[in-house]
Structure 1
Amino acid sequence: MAEKNVRWGILATGGIAAAFAADLVDLPDAEIVAVASRRQESARAFADRFGAPRAYGDWESLARDEDVDVVYVATPHAAHRAAAGLCLEAGRNVLCEKAFTLNAREAAELVALAREHDRFLMEAMWMYCNPLVRRLRALVDDGAIGEVRTVQADFGLAGPFPPAHRLRDPAMGGGALLDLGVYPVSFAHLLLGEPDGVAASATLSEEGVDLQTGALLSWDSGALASVHCSITGGTGTTASVTGTLGRIDVPAGFFHPERFVLHRDGRAPEEFTADPADGPRTSLRHEAVEVMRALRAGEKESALVPLEGSLAVMRTLDAVRERIGVRYPGEERVPAVAG
């Protein structure tokens, strides 16, 4: 694989799949060779749009395509377990959109399948691969703001979304938490790891999904994180992390920032900006580059988006859902989570 293009399959043809495919086309060492959808006409139209030679009207055919090095699973998260599992069982490597799955049990099943079949698996948490976010974490890890004490992050969309929209549909894993809240929660995990305690409150829809959720995450060290998500109002999508020696503020779009500001006690603020050479701030190319790097190195998971980290985020999301009382069809109850 080190001497040839990495051959991608795209499973699902929605907006996020199109955004990812557009970024793949711009990478000289990536090639889209196959597309799959539940509808042949959708797969064919997508394949024609991005120059893929093969279009399948079912997922199984893509999973069995031995000319595909890695499959990007871009379905709604309610189908991630089925789609990614099918590909792993067929011997394909997988990059799976976030939220990784509906719950931690399903996520653990995917990780077990990847290890059983000796395949690469990564959650498509593009925020973790963003160069400026990586710079922010490096500063925190190097002690630039001292010991982390608080993290704050929010992500809300204005809506309103009608009851038939996927964000309101329990069968699709609807609600603010898994679609939007995964970003603030993952940001807190990036800086502090898995929390020891979880408290949460939410406003639920008539369908039983969360319209907005606020959670307070706590660590035995005394650190706290306040995270919020909403499909009822557009928030600032900002984040900040405060330590014993300073603070880092990330303005709007914290999960794909253009800049952030480091405030250190007794010093002038320092602004860090994205390198134009890294591409547009909305680019998904960095996660694709990380997948291809790992595949060429023979790695089965990414150091930037480790599987245990994805499992930990899913455990936290489960804990939040348990506290706010959101369950999806087929779940007898949200799996019990300590904390």
Structure 2
Amino acid sequence: MKKINWGILAAGRISSWFCTGLQTVSNANILAIGSRSQEKAEQFGDRFEIERRYGSYEELVNDPDIDVIYVGVPSRWHHEYTMLALRAGKNVVCEKPFSMNAKDTKEQITYAREHNLFLMEAMWTKCTPVYRTVMDWVGQGRIGEVRFFKADFFTPGKANPPHRLYNYEIGGGALLDLGVYPITYACSLLGHHPTEILSTADFAHTGVDINNSIILKYENGSYAAISSGFNVHQQNPAVIVGTKGKITIDHNFLCAESAQLRDLNNEIIQQVHYPFEKNGYEYEGMEATRCLQAGLKESPWIPLEHTQAVMEIMDTCRKQWGFAYTFEK
């Protein structure tokens, strides 16, 4: 079977993490790197032994041998460069958040569907073995009906020198960069259309949200309590509570390698441990490559309608805070 040729758009840290994982995917070939400068493209290319190196994104997306573009620019430009690649006729895997708002996300999805192109949010969490196992446990009714989900995602972000999440001009802030993970997880468990959303946030001196708390309520009485931020040190655990039992993830739920299935007395019934083959990013690379080889236009694990729904929830939260970026359309 033909290998899938990947083009990497941007030579930053997240692209390097993705390429580290993608190098282990047998049916994937990192053919080209595009950066805003030839020097950065050369450096990145040397590091990952990439054959073709472009000093502009436009040159990258117009390479006729590339099957799919990975968009790894900062959040502010996800929509712009996803659309650049789609308009060049390329399939796209775009980092989260998929865009800055639901309107832009809808435009990306609509264009891809109208032009028969593959499009996927790089929500690596949904492709990891632990996440897939957790969803299997829930789907099999191992914990009964899910009634409650709680998860936090905090990362230490130094104010001096300022961490990238403080940077308003690149779309920094806790919700879009961090909160998207627990919201996505909650929606996978409880549904993508809560009946009520309650949220609050605190803001940094740079104008971005530095932490937030969100409650998602559902018609059947179930709910999710989630929070994110970059001014607190946390282990980032998660718990899923059902009518018959619970599932616990003790550390970094978004990229966990272990999870425990428990009864209502908190006794462990089953536990799994799946060490990553590389760094965890290989699984989203495998999924996108598998979909492309199968001729699919979206991943069944990361449906575009779910990406759209999560963006709409984050829009609602920001509307409750009275917060929009001045550069948003």
Interval containing the TM-score (normalised by the shorter chain): over 0.9
Map 1:216-255 to 2 at 5 A.
Answer: 216-255=215-254
Q: CA deviation at 1:164?
A: 4.9
1:171–1:329 Cα contact (<8 Å) kept: no
Contact 2:190 2:223 in 1 (8 A): no
Counterpart residue identity of residue 308, structure 1: E
The question of 1:90 aligning with 2:93 is answered: no
Tell me, yes or no, if the aligned pair for 1:144 and 1:246 is still in contact at 8 Å: yes
Counterpart of 2:255 in 1: which secondary structure?
coil
What is residue 257 of structure 1 aligned with on the other side? 256
Q: Is the 8 A contact 1:170 1:329 kept in 2?
A: no
Distance 2:235 2:267 in 1: 25
Alignment match of 2:300 (pick from 295, 298, 303):
303
State the match for 1:176 in structure 2. Answer: 174
Greater alpha carbon shift after TM alignment, 79-88 vs 28-37: 28-37
CA distance in 2, matches of 1:284, 1:319: 29
Deviation, 1:170, is 2.0
**1:11 corresponding residue in structure 2:** 9
Q: Do 2:258 and 2:274's aligned partners in 1 also have CA atoms closer than 8 Å?
A: no
TM-score, L = length of structure 1:
0.93
Residue 286 of structure 1: aligned partner = 283
In the TM superposition, residue 331 of structure 1 has moved relative to its aligned partner by 3.2
SS for the counterpart of 1:255 is helix
What is the deviation of 1:109?
0.6
Q: Report the counterpart of residue 71 of structure 1 in structure 2.
A: 69
Q: Which residue number corresponds to residue 313 of structure 2?
A: 316
Measure how far apart 1:160 and its partner are: 2.4
State the secondary structure of the residue aligned to 2:33: strand
Could you tell me how far apart the structure 2 residues matched to 1:211 and 1:231 are?
A: 6
Letter in 2 for 1:74: G
The separation in 2 between residues aligned to 1:331 and 1:20, in whole angstroms, is: 27
What SS class does the counterpart of residue 197 from structure 2 fall into? strand
Q: Give me the whole-angstrom Cα distance separating, in 1, the residues matched to 2:270 and 2:143.
A: 14
Matched, 1:103 2:134: no
Q: Which moved more, 1:136-145 or 1:158-167?
A: 158-167
Task: Supply the distance in 1 between the matched residues of 2:319 and 2:222 (Cα, whole angstroms).
Answer: 22
Over the aligned positions, Cα root-mean-square deviation in angstroms equals 1.5
Superposition pairs of residues 42-57 of structure 1, within 5 angstroms? 42-57=40-55
Q: What is the CA distance between 1:261 and its match in structure 2?
A: 1.3
Letter in 1 for 2:84: L
| Aligned-pair CA distance for 1:7 | 0.5
> Does the CA-based 8 Å contact 1:161-1:167 persist in structure 2?
no
Matched, 1:274 2:282: no
Q: Which amino acid aligns with 2:234?
A: T
In the alignment, does 2:322 pair up with 1:329?
A: no
Alignment CA distance shift 1:163-1:209 (3 Å) = farther
How far the C-alpha of 1:266 sits from its partner, in A, is 6.7
Going from structure 1 to structure 2, the CA distance change for 1:268 and 1:169 (only over 3 Å counts) comes to: closer
Instruction: Tell me if the contact between 2:257 and 2:273 (Cα under 8 Å) persists in the aligned partners.
Output: yes
Q: From the superposition, tell whether residues 94 and 159 of structure 1 become closer, same or farther in structure 2 (CA, over 3 Å).
A: same
* AA at the equivalent of 1:241: I
Which deviates more from structure 2 when the two are superposed, residues 259-268 or residues 167-176? 259-268
Runs of 4+ in 1 over 4 A off after TM superposition: none
Secondary structure of the equivalent of 2:22? helix
Query: Which amino acid is 1:157 matched to?
Result: T
Distance 2:123 2:61 in 1: 22
Is 1:133 the equivalent of 2:153? no
Contact 2:124 2:284 in 1 (8 A): yes
Between the aligned partners of 1:329 and 1:163, the Cα distance in structure 2 is: 24
Q: TM-score, normalised by structure 2?
A: 0.96
Aligned match of 1:207: 206
- For 1:68, what is the secondary structure of its paired residue? coil
Counterparts of 1:315 and 1:161, CA distance in 2:
29
- Per chain length, whose mean CA-contact separation is higher, i.e. which structure has more relative contact order (CA < 8 Å, sep 6+)? 2
